[in-house]
Amino acid sequence: MTAAPEMLAQSGRLPFALEALWLVPLLPLAGFLLGGLVLRPLKLRWLPQVAAGFVLASLLLSLAAVKAFFGLFPPGSEHPALVTGAIDWLPVLPGLSFGLGTLIDPVSLLLLVVVCTVSFLVHLYSIGYMADDPGKARYFVFLNLFTFSMLGLVLAPNLLQLFVCWELVGASSFLLIGFYFDKPSAVSASKKAFIVTRFADLGLLLGLLSLAWLGFRLLPGLQAAGAVPPGLEAADFALLNHPAFHEAVLALPPFVGLSLLSLPLLLLLMGAAGKSAMFPLHIWLPDAMEGPTPVSALIHAATMVVAGIYLVARLFPAFAAAVTPLEVAAFLGALTCLFAAVIACSQDDIKRVLAFSTLSQLGYMLLALGVARADHALGHTAGLFHLFTHAFFKSLLFLGAGAVIHAVHSNDIWRMGGLRKKMPLTHISFLVAVLAIAGLPPLAGFFSKDEILRAALEGGHTTVYGIALAVAALTPFYMARIYLVAFGGTARSESAKQAHEAPAIMTIPLLLLALLSVCAGWLPMAEYIGLDHGHAAHHGIHWNIALPATAAALLGLALAGWLYTGDRRARREALASLLGPLGGVIRNKFYIDEIWLFFARRVIFRGISAPIAWFDRTVVDGAVNAVGWLSRALGASLTLLQSGQLQGYASWMLAGTMALVLGLGMLLGGN
């Protein structure tokens, strides 16, 4: 491990863009407050443009920061982790406080660029997409809130800020999935997403608390020994990623067979798996497609769902020191990417196919991180590289699908068809994205997929490599399937016949993203993000990886062409009968939703919720009711004294006075 993150205490000498990086998340926050509190109540029509403007400012500032950072520390050299704009936020105890700030290193800058770019393009696209929606002001306000939260998450210098923003992105995702709140399916989808991710966040919170506790207990010793730089706090990533911290934690006695480093990281991995929709917590993501399509592109494809990947990448040195969590991550990633790719081949809703494809690609990224090790960190670079390229082509796919849905008024690919001629710009950009995700050279997906496959093979994970190669064939198949069915052939419905191209405000972001989907792969990513320089450097194309990967992609494309160009119903039916009952199982997404539902109804409702409800209704409510009954009974008995009889009162008064006089007499006249 050569690049242990270190803090440079050279504040004040850094370029302005790095010093003022805290503005990047705060600009969309200002947009959120201005839009939500001022512009929306005033019903101002240019609210969307203002919202997009704030994100554009963030984008420009973050690009300036990237330029300044790599100007100071040229690509290929050692990249330190800087913390700027730090403020003391939560002083809990002496020696235990949590700050806010912006962490600047290549990984956070990468995410910064991805989030700002995609968010800005989605804002632009939404101006056209949501033009006729009565709730568009609310939509843009939430979109700004999301952008703020995501940027805060990406720039978090410690686990606590990350957690706060993590929950904020969850909340804004909830708000945007349930944007069409008069649609019952959207409401239940938003609740499902919130509850499933909250359940996973339990693990994140527990992991955070254990890591912060370990940091708090070990920090004084480490500082006294001079092993860590001064000025660190308990939950700072700079501490949690420090080799001296790992050594100190690994020296502690293990708990239930796991080291004290693995255990919190496994809990964090649970949170990451929930947010990044890994099996078996993936069930919320396909349903989240109930939200507006640009939201799916931004939140549920390019940015929020990669937060889990980002968390693992951010704590990668700690994960690498613990190893076990990385093995779990590789397993989870491989399982999810295969499983989701298989389901994606069977779905007819264009957004659902894209959602399962997102799952599969997220699995790919997690797999890449999982096969990386401290001494062979290529997977770390590869996972983040794929995150980078995937953000562009997947948001492009979603935005293209949005344009198609806008034109055809249906999500069903079998009601589309023949859109190639009617929507030429959308068609071109969608085609580019399909080829990019398929991994054909020289498009973006080819390079990042190539890196992942190489990381898996060179790391000695042959099973994982095999799965990844299989998925590299499945991905082009299902993507080509929806492309051929939706854009090829002839129109299959009346609305598809009358479809026409989207307005320029929607096609311009599509074309920009198409450009990025072509070029994003040409970056020598290992020069920018690499934990072991030199070893992982990008030495051109590796033929032993590129050839099988490209062959797999071509195989998938050819199979899709064989099944879906022209009228090939007979071939498809033959294939379906070949699969037999397995086809139904795949079509029903392996019944995972039903298993969860059974678990929720039978185990959680009956075993946990029902006893708690009984306790609440009988014991807690009983105690409250008993107090009420007692006061009423006491009051009822005391009303008997109030007889309304004057002379009765007079008698009481006499008795009271006499008692008072006698008492006073005894008290005063005693001696």
User: Which residues make up the interface to another protein (CB under 8 A)?
Assistant: 638-647, 650-651, 654
Q: Dihedral of CA 482/488/494/496: which sign?
A: positive
Which token pair is 21? 């990086």
CB of 641 to another protein, least distance (A): 7
CB of 186 to another protein, least distance (A): 57
Alpha helices in 372-423 (DSSP H): 378-408, 419-422
**Do residues 446 and 542 touch, judged by C-beta distance below 8 A?**
no
Q: Dihedral of CA 300/291/404/128: which sign?
A: negative
CB of 185 to another protein, least distance (A): 58
At which residue do the structure tokens 């990044």 appear? 276
CB of 164 to another protein, least distance (A): 56
Residue of 389, 423, 393, 430 lying closest to 406 (CA atoms): 423
CB of 659 to another protein, least distance (A): 16
Packing angle between helix 350-371 and helix 307-314, nearest 10 degrees? 10
CB of 651 to another protein, least distance (A): 6
Pairing of strands 96-104, 82-93: antiparallel
Burial class (CB in 10 A: 0-12, 13-18, 19+), 256: exposed
Residue of 514, 521, 357, 340 lying closest to 445 (CA atoms): 521
Residue of 155, 188, 148, 141 lying closest to 44 (CA atoms): 141
Residue of 342, 391, 341 lying closest to 363 (CA atoms): 341
Residue of 167, 157, 164, 208 lying closest to 22 (CA atoms): 157
Report in angstroms the alpha-carbon separations of 328 from 131, 279, 517, 633: 45, 12, 31, 63
CB of 91 to another protein, least distance (A): 57
- Secondary structure of residue 158 in the 3-state scheme: strand
- Secondary structure of residue 258 in the 3-state scheme: strand
CB of 601 to another protein, least distance (A): 53
What is the C-alpha separation between 413 and 404, in angstroms, rounded? 10
At which residue do the structure tokens 């959308």 appear? 426
Which DSSP helix (H) or strand (E) runs through 414?
none
CB of 196 to another protein, least distance (A): 58
Nearer to another protein among residue 577 and residue 639 (C-beta) = 639
- Secondary structure of residue 376 in the 3-state scheme: strand
The DSSP symbol for 74 reads -
What is the C-alpha separation between 567 and 563, in angstroms, rounded? 9
Strand partners, 100: 87
CB of 664 to another protein, least distance (A): 18
What is the C-alpha separation between 55 and 28, in angstroms, rounded? 6
- Secondary structure of residue 521 in the 3-state scheme: helix
Nearer to another protein among residue 642 and residue 671 (C-beta) = 642
Contacts of 264 (CB under 8 A, 6+ apart): 206, 207, 208, 210, 211, 214
CB of 652 to another protein, least distance (A): 11
CB of 35 to another protein, least distance (A): 59
CB of 661 to another protein, least distance (A): 13
Burial class (CB in 10 A: 0-12, 13-18, 19+), 614: exposed
Cα 60 → chain centroid: 23
What type of residue sits at position 92? V
Nearer to another protein among residue 185 and residue 651 (C-beta) = 651
**End-to-end Cα distance, the chain:** 93
CB of 632 to another protein, least distance (A): 14
Instruction: Render 83-123 in DSSP notation, one character per residue.
Output: EEEEEEEEEEETTEEEEEEEEESHHHHHHHHHHHHHHHHHH
Q: What angle do CA 375, 377, 382 make, to 5 degrees?
A: 165
**Do residues 335 and 363 touch, judged by C-beta distance below 8 A?**
yes
Strand partners, 276: none
CB of 615 to another protein, least distance (A): 38
Cα 256 → chain centroid: 30
Nearer to another protein among residue 577 and residue 642 (C-beta) = 642
Nearer to another protein among residue 87 and residue 640 (C-beta) = 640
CB of 660 to another protein, least distance (A): 16
CB of 653 to another protein, least distance (A): 10
Nearer to another protein among residue 547 and residue 650 (C-beta) = 650
Nearer to another protein among residue 631 and residue 643 (C-beta) = 643
Residue of 56, 25, 1, 46 lying closest to 512 (CA atoms): 56
